[in-house]
Structure 1
Amino acid sequence: MSPEFLSVAMFVILLIVVFLGHPLGITLGGLGIVFGILGYGPTAFFILANKSYGLMTNYVLVAIPLFILMAQFLDKSGVADDLYETMYVVMGSIKGGLALATIVVCTVFAATTGIVGASVVAMGLLAAPSMVKKGYDLQLTAGVITAGGTLGILIPPSIMLVVYGGLIGMSVGKLFMAAVVPGLFLAFMYLIYAFIYCQVKPNAGPPIPKEERIHTGMQKFVMMCKSLFPPLFLIFAVLGSISAGIATPTEAAGLGCVGALILALANGRVNIKLFKDSAYSTMKITCMVMLIFVGANFYTSIFMGLGGGEVFTDVLFSVSDNKYVILGVMMFILFLLGMFVDWLGILLLCVPIFTPIAVNQLGFDPLWFAVLVCVNLQMSFLTPPFGYALFYLKGVAPEGMELSHIYKGIIPFVLLQLITLILCVVFPDIITWLPNAVFK
């Protein structure tokens, strides 16, 4: 069998096995071993050992468990609870105020946790019952919670950006800066949509009754100082230390852990259970991420070694010689895979194949292309049939909210994500302006 045939068979079998629901990390590693033996013989085991050792000595990847631990401290110490209560008081008096408050809290929570599951579940438990009780449209409620929760995968410090940087040797600090404006722009788009929707359909987002508006302006300001400003300070401390060159992303992640612990201590939530639960969750998530990382890295090495990269390049260039058409095809492939495969698997499989084509052969800015990929993969959390955010919310949804409401609710937000992706293609400065300004 020719290497080209093996590479095509390797890719096709991977798609079939993944769609059947088998664990991604084990599937990738297993296929890598089988096709590595067929293509290279026993040498495949040396390739596996070499790739695994290379990953384990990658200093950048140390940031992954540290950022996860920071997220766990914040999630389990009640920071999100206090923040939502504050935004509920401050913004609940306007039409759609609770929807806007939910998006704001999701944005802040995204920048402090970076984990979609934590954001969606936390906001599903906090915001959904309150919004439903106040008469909010079920589809709007589901949409703002799931879409807002997915901001955590894009707004730094994001685990996706850390993985991307470690995968291809790109500066994580530059990736963080490049993702700030698209992430905040997307949050702004959500706010505008929710506000307009509730003005056009007032019954979809009624304000809280006047008798519940008992807080004075000074009381609201004090609540903001206690619950909003500390997380914002933590965000600026982490990102500022990176952009100023004071700390590497890994060191900044350690700083974030200390800051999150201080916030938990200030809230009086530090105890043995917090440390135990946070450490256990961090270990579990990190093991899952690294298993997929090792399997995907080995799989990609065998796939590229057998000539899969050349086959894929030939297929793409047979579609068109226009670089933006080829870019559109790559983005469509990522979007399609996102409907069925976890973002981490897509990232680890596609980036080593797509990046050389986009950068070396099409001449695109690698930083710009990287953020386009991450904006695209954010949609994977919302697109049926396997959008993880949809099932996260369904697992904690209040009575009366069905999966059909969640599916219908995410449609406008997926369109907003798609519009943002197109705008980032048409106006590259949305991505490149900030990192160019910071890292001169």
Structure 2
Amino acid sequence: MIGIVMFFTALFMLIIGFPVAFTFAAVSVFFGILAGFIEVFSNADQSDAIISLIQSGWSEGISMFDYMPFRIFAIQQSTILMAIPMFIFMGIILQKTGLAEKLLESMGFLFGEIRGGVAISTVLVGTLLAASTGVVGASVVAMGVISLPVMLKYKYKTELAAGTICASGTLGQIIPPSIVLIILGDVFQVPVGDLFKAALTPGLALVGAYIIFILIVSYLNKNLAPAIPADPSRGTKKKQVLRALVDIIPSLTLIILVLGSIFEGVATPTESAAVGCLGAVLLALIYKTFSISMVKEASLEAVKITSMVFGILIGATAFSMVFSYTGGDEIVEHIMLSLPGDGKWTFVIFTMIAILFLGFFIDFIEISYIIIPILLPVAETLGINPIWFAILIAMNLQTSFLTPPFGFSLFYLKGCAPAGVTTAQIYRGVIPFILIQIIVLAIVAFFPEIFGMTSDM
């Protein structure tokens, strides 16, 4: 039971606010040494000296970490994980080019004359930013600074405006290239390119569901998202369409270069990430925002984020190793396989509910590296398709950015929202979009063939 106690200890420490990587590492060392002492003292007899037992227990516990250097070297040599810093760098460069501003301005005027038009344009721009940058914080802040004041100016209900921006900003978690999918590819040991392909249609289905929801509520309540009057200074409708296309083409080209090279088998995700970095720099040159200082800032920021991810990964590796050595994985597997009902579907439903609940309190990285490795052996035993299971988890993890009280998107938007927007309004605004995500998740779970997947190996 040491592994189970260790798990809940780490979870409690995360909930009360301890740093993630240090929590995993400290808890692993403490319980690893404790397991060594328990092992030695449980096998001791009365003739053994207490000092000798303490020395043996210490040695037994410390020896559990003998293979940690090899695990760390394996992490450093992973070609899959090499894509993470490059995609982060690409996203930060694009954030600094003003791409989001141009897209939102053009598409806002293009769709503004229909009810909910600015909200719809925000969803579409969020989709383009997700497919070209994948950085949630940058997308939410950019749209919060630009789109939210416009919606509030034209009397959009604050809850709908805030919920639309938060939900659109998190699309980068499921629409490739996605850091979540790269991490899950490493955890599941499946090709990241296959995950990217499988995630594309569920991601677009989610986009479609958001737009349908906005259209329906805008139609039912005419004061919820009024239409914006035509602006003659923007020129004719034809000129507005051409201007929107001009703003969309650069980001669309980058998406085709990055995702197209993966889907066609021309490049691996890591190689396409390098192509994306080059494309981002070229876009910065096109938009005349390129400078050495910008590249330096983007590089430093990418290093900070990447260091955080890899620090968590090393701590999580130690955690999972101690958890396995103390038999925690066997207990979890026994419990999961003993659940009532159809073993496979009971396991999937229980897993989705557990991840959704944990997403209220901890981040997707911790869930990916701590919770999922514990569940993988059970999924393999039940014959669950790893690609399908990974997509379900990715869609579920996306909700962790929206769920109160600790959803990061909520904090990002609150930090850049006008003074009149309250935290309670943001919380209420995301609830319909969380429900939409759960509905789409259920459709992918029970009808995977619609999205070209299967639930079985």
Query: Aligned Cα RMSD in Å?
Result: 1.4
d(CA) in 1 for partners of 2:288 and 2:222? 40
Residues 131-280 of structure 1 correspond to what in structure 2 (within 5 A)?
131-211=151-231, 214-280=234-300
**Structure 2 equivalent of residue 77 of structure 1:** 97
Question: Structure 1 residue 126 and structure 2 residue 146: aligned?
Answer: yes
Superposed CA offset, 1:103-125 (max 9, x none): 00001001111121111111111
Is 1:14–2:10 an aligned residue pair?
Answer: yes
- Structure 1's consecutive aligned runs of 4 or more residues displaced over 6 angstroms after TM superposition are none
- Would you say the 8 A contact 1:93–1:208 is kept in 2? yes
2: distance between equivalents of 1:341 and 1:59?
Answer: 27
1:357-376 equivalences under 5 Å are: 357-358=378-379, 360-376=380-396
The secondary structure found in structure 2 opposite 1:363 is coil
1:213 offset after TM fit, Å? 6.6
Q: Equivalent residue for 1:437?
A: none
1:324 equivalent in alignment to 2:320: no
Q: Which runs of 5+ in 2 are unaligned?
A: 36-59
Q: Hey, what's the Cα distance between the residues in 2 that align with 1:408 and 1:400?
A: 15
Work out whether residues 181 and 430 of structure 1, in 8 Å CA contact, stay in contact via their aligned partners in 2.
no
Partner residue, 1:389: 409
- In the alignment, which residue of structure 1 is the partner of 2:45? none
Cα distance in 2 for partners of 1:321, 1:205 equals 45
**8 A contact 1:61–1:166 mirrored in 2:** yes
Aligned partners of 1:139, 1:217: CA distance in 2, in Å? 30
The residue that corresponds to 1:305 in the other structure is 325
Report the 3-state secondary structure (helix = DSSP H, G, I; strand = E; otherwise coil) of the residue aligned with 2:65: helix
Do the aligned residues in 2 keep the contact of 1:93 with 1:213 (CA within 8 Å)? Answer: no
Post-superposition Cα deviations, 1:410-439, rounded to whole Å, max 9, x if no partner, equal 1110000000110011111244459xxxxx
Q: In 1, Cα distance between the equivalents of 2:115 and 2:83?
A: 41
Amino acid of the residue matched to residue 372 of structure 2? V
Aligned with residue 35 of structure 1, among 9, 31, 34: 31
> C-alpha offsets along residues 213-234 of structure 1, whole Å, 9 cap, x if unaligned?
7421332233123211211111
Cα 1:308/1:111, change in 2 over 3 Å: same
TM-score of the pair, normalised by structure 1: 0.95
3-state SS of paired residue (1:88)? helix
Q: Which residue is equivalent to 2:57?
A: none
Secondary structure of the residue aligned to 2:120 is helix
Counterpart residue type for residue 301 of structure 1: M
CA pair 430-25 structure 1, distance change in 2 beyond 3 A? farther
Q: Determine the C-alpha separation between the residues in 2 that align with 1:212 and 1:102.
A: 22
CA distance in structure 1 between the partners assigned to 2:148 and 2:358 by the alignment? 29
Answer yes or no: is 1:334 the counterpart of 2:355.
yes
Residues 355 and 367 in structure 2, CA contact (< 8 A), matched pair in contact too: yes
**SS of the residue 1:59 aligns to:** coil
Percent of aligned pairs with the same residue? 41
Which residue identity lines up with residue 16 of structure 2 in the other structure? Answer: L
**What is the match of residue 438 of structure 1?**
none
Q: Residue type of the partner of 1:272?
A: I
Stretch moving more, 399-408 or 211-220: 211-220
Aligned partner of 1:25 in structure 2 is 21
Structure 1 or 2, whichever has the larger Rg, is 2
Give per-residue Cα distances to partners, 1:280-326, cap 9 Å, x unaligned: 21111111111011111221121122211111112223331412112
> 1:212 deviation in Å?
5.1
Residue 228 of structure 1 aligns to a residue in which SS? Answer: helix
SS of 2:406's equivalent in the other structure is coil
Equivalent AA in structure 1 for residue 361 of structure 2: F
Q: Counterpart amino acid of 2:144?
A: G
Return the alpha-carbon distance in structure 1 between the equivalents of residues 188 and 226 of structure 2: 48
Deviation for aligned residue 1:49: 1.4
Instruction: Output the CA distance in 1 between the equivalents of 2:419 and 2:362.
Output: 29
In the other structure, the counterpart of 1:403 is: 423
Q: Matches of 1:211 and 1:294 in 2, distance apart? A: 55
Measured in 2, the distance between the counterparts of 1:166 and 1:276 equals 29
Task: Return the offset for 1:274.
Answer: 1.5
Q: Residues 371 and 431 of structure 1 are in contact (CA less than 8 Å); yes or no, is this contact kept in structure 2?
A: no
Cα distance in 1, alignment partners of residues 452 and 313 from structure 2: 28
Within-5 A mapping of 1:33-112: 33-39=29-35, 40-112=60-132
The residue identity in structure 2 corresponding to 1:340 is: F
TM-score relative to the length of structure 2: 0.91
Q: Which residue of 1 aligns with 2:40?
A: none
Deviations 1:121-174 (A, max 9, x none): 111111111111111110000110001111011100000111111223210000
Measure, in 1, the Cα distance between the counterparts of 2:397 and 2:233: 40
Q: Residue 89 of structure 1: CA displacement? A: 1.7
Equivalent position amino acid for 1:102 in 2: T
Give the aligned residue type for 2:2: L
Aligned partner of residue 293 in structure 2, secondary structure: helix
Deviations 1:170-211 (A, max 9, x none): 100000001101111001100000111111111111111234
